[in-house]
Amino acid sequence: MSNELTQHSGRGIFRPGQTLTGLAAKKAALAQAQLALKPEERSPNAMEHRIGIVFDESGSMRAPQLAMAKEGVEEFLRSCERDKTAVAVYPLGYYSKKIELCAQLPAVAIMVKQIVTGSTTPLVQRLQEMLAKNNLTRAIVFSDGQPDSYKDEQYKSILASKIPVDTVYISPHIREAEVAFLKKLASDTGGIYLQFEQGKSNFATAFKYLAPGMRYMLADKSFVAGLEGR
């Protein structure tokens, strides 16, 4: 297999020997810099930020919500520093593949597009599994409903990991009975809770603020109120 670097852009394909300019040049420089790193430096476990996302694609996530969720995760990935961040994505069901911790964020974005709807909501079980199988510095969970039943030991295992879990409620309507668990999970782990109600806020554009370089902005209550449409 050739090891020549081929750069893609909206205008076509740039081949070796051709002068690159603008964004294409920046992307090529970044790719070359990544290739220059030692294998252990490119390892996901060597990244400063190692974030896992539990992706709710349960049956209640209708097509518009699922599309919005994918767009939000893609915006999040674009907002992460590629040389400092690795991301894992765990859908709730078994129809979509789990994405183990990966530092190649564009590849993660492509795999997120392949997530399909059709599962229940084993939120605690999936979060516990993700924390156990990946060396994370932070986790993010978003959902539109209550989790399936779980054992106390499973929840305690999540708390024992000492990993902050940010939670996001994404739904056409806010129902306090459904958001109670997500609020508790964020509070118990030292994470941040956000709620996005359709028509008042936009998950696709707001989710990115959980990226490492932007999360500090969520300390401003008035800024959060604006994101949530309050």
What is the structure's pLDDT at 9?
Answer: 39
Residue pair 54/144 in contact by the 8 Å Cβ criterion: no
- Does residue 152 carry a pLDDT above 80? yes
- Positive or negative: CA dihedral 45, 138, 60, 223: negative
SS3 state at 16: coil
CA distance 193 to 129: 21
pTM of the model: 0.80
**Domains located in the chain, CATH noted:** 48-228 (3.40.50.410)
CA distance 4 to 16: 7
- Positive or negative: CA dihedral 201, 204, 205, 207: positive
Instruction: Name the packing angle between helices 63-79 and 105-112 (round to 10°).
Output: 180
What is the structure's pLDDT at 27?
Answer: 59
How do strand 7-9 and strand 99-102 relate by DSSP bridges?
A: unpaired
- Does residue 51 carry a pLDDT above 60? yes
Q: Please classify residue 221 by burial: count the beta carbons closer than 10 Å to its beta carbon, then call 0-12 exposed, 13-18 middle and 19+ buried.
A: exposed
Tell me the per-residue pLDDT of 162-211, one tens digit each, with 9 for 90 and over: 999 999 998 777 778 778 999 999 999 999 999 988 788 888 899 999 99
Q: How far apart are the first and last CA of the chain?
A: 54
What is the structure's pLDDT at 39?
Answer: 46
DSSP label of 198: B
Give the residue, 69 or 95, on which the prediction is more confident: 69
Longest dimension (CA), the chain: 61
